[in-house]
Structure 1
Amino acid sequence: MPQPRILVPAVAGLVFLGLALLIVSGRSFSLDTTLIMLFRDAANPAVPLGPAWFHEAVRDMTALGSFVGLFFMALTATLALWLCGYRHLAIGLVVSLAAAFLASTGLKIAIARERPDIVEHAALTFTASFPSGHAFLSAVTLLTIAGFVGIASRKADIARFCMVMAVVMVGLIGLSRIYLGVHWPSDVLGGWSLGIVWSSVANAWLGRKMAASDPA
């Protein structure tokens, strides 16, 4: 029976590939519209559900998945690994995240899906819709950082704790994009799926290979 660490990224890869092919072929999903509207006031779809303070909290959460937010998380993790003597791991983290950023940009340009137009956007957008860059890059960044910290710590409980926290943050960042009306749910699902595949490969191959080159 396949282990979860193999089965999960394999399924995620199939989900991303299926979504990408359907979107490129011009397919739309009625569930996308239904899910976006769940976060909106039925009497006034321009307004997301919840009080004003909650709107601000969601915008704060989405900012964690922005380029600036992820850059500082990645910078902190990279410097911490470097200063702790895991210099190859630090380099591997930078390589993985830089390549993911290029891949995200290339996929958005190639697929060129339009942003949702059924509700007013509660945040500014500058790129195409699929895959969600916030969902993809936050998954790559946070899951890879968690994996690399787990590898460096050599302690299973620390690795599990870091991974759980990363999963929670990635989930909330992705949901915030739907709540703000700037992404279709399928954009976020596609970003999550590709991020799981990318970080799984980075952790299982690049992370362990780089760690083997660092002093014990």
Structure 2
Amino acid sequence: MSFLHPRFLVPLAAGFAFVGLALLIVSGHSFAFDSRLVLLLRVPGDPATPLGPLWLGEAMRDLSGLGSFVGLGFMTITASLTLWLCGYRRLAVALAASVVLATLVSTGLKIMIGRERPDIVAHTALTFTASFPSGHAFLSAVTLLSIAGFIGLAARREDITRLCVGLAWALIILIGFSRVYLGVHWPTDVLAGWCLGVAWSSVAVALLGRGMAVDAPAARGARLAR
């Protein structure tokens, strides 16, 4: 694949974008649009109240829950077991290992960078760790894009791959937006999480997935036939 191919350039650019944002945050740089976007989602003059009806706030909490350790963990276990039972055992192991390692890296980055959560609005969801990068944004991108990529490798069909990636991105964006709406993340936390997640999942699928796709049932059958 050419180095100018989007499949190479996009994750590379995403990786550099994350590093740039991380260095700016560590150096103490702040972004004016962070505050403006957070306040834009609150009732003017009442930063404790999110915009929209009560059901919207509940829907945002539900979406945020899908990006939690429990939500993403359940998705990872389900996808890994499915791949395993279908005969793609190396893909199953690669998926589980990628998500677990990403979870450890997310925790480590939060501890090292230590950015404070938004303090200009009331939080409408509980938080227990630092703000940068958004673990929900990072881990949802890693998990969902890796699942989509590995399913694409197993299915060997571009239409299925595109469908899975499209659905994955729809949920990734909604989860990231929910974190800003709930007031628990700055927009740059979410953006950084997305960038790192894109880079991570791309490497996982390219280096782990494609090499381990040889474990597919069809591939094993071909080897046995020889």
Q: Could you say which TM-score interval applies, normalised by the shorter chain?
A: over 0.9
Match in the other structure for 2:178:
176
Checking the alignment, whether the CA contact within 8 Å between 2:154 and 2:216 is kept in structure 1 is no
The yes-or-no answer on 1:113 pairing with 2:115 is yes
Match in the other structure for 1:204:
206
Match in the other structure for 1:3:
5
Out of 148, 151, 163, the position equivalent to 1:149 is 151
Match in the other structure for 2:45:
43
Letter in 1 for 2:73: F
Unaligned stretches of 5+ in structure 1?
none
Match in the other structure for 2:128:
126
The yes-or-no answer on 1:18 pairing with 2:20 is yes
C-alpha distance in structure 1 between counterparts of 2:216 and 2:104, whole Å: 27
C-alpha distance in structure 2 between counterparts of 1:48 and 1:7, whole Å: 37
Aligned residue runs from structure 1 range 27-176, under 5 A: 27-176=29-178
C-alpha distance in structure 2 between counterparts of 1:44 and 1:21, whole Å: 33
Letter in 2 for 1:187: D
Poorly superposed stretches of 4+, deviation over 2 Å: none
Q: CA deviation at 1:31?
A: 0.8
Q: CA deviation at 1:214?
A: 3.3
Q: CA deviation at 1:205?
A: 1.1
For the residue of structure 1 that corresponds to 2:125, the secondary structure is: coil
Q: CA deviation at 1:213?
A: 3.0
C-alpha distance in structure 2 between counterparts of 1:70 and 1:49, whole Å: 27
- TM-score by length of structure 1 reads 0.98
Pick the structure with greater CA Rg.
Answer: 2
For the residue of structure 2 that corresponds to 1:46, the secondary structure is: strand
For the residue of structure 1 that corresponds to 2:149, the secondary structure is: helix
- For the aligned residues, what is the CA RMSD? 0.9
For the residue of structure 2 that corresponds to 1:124, the secondary structure is: coil
For the residue of structure 1 that corresponds to 2:217, the secondary structure is: coil
Tell me the alpha carbon deviations over residues 125-183 of structure 1, each in whole angstroms, 9 at most, x when there is no partner: 00000000000000000000000000000111000000000011001000100000000
Q: CA deviation at 1:42?
A: 0.5
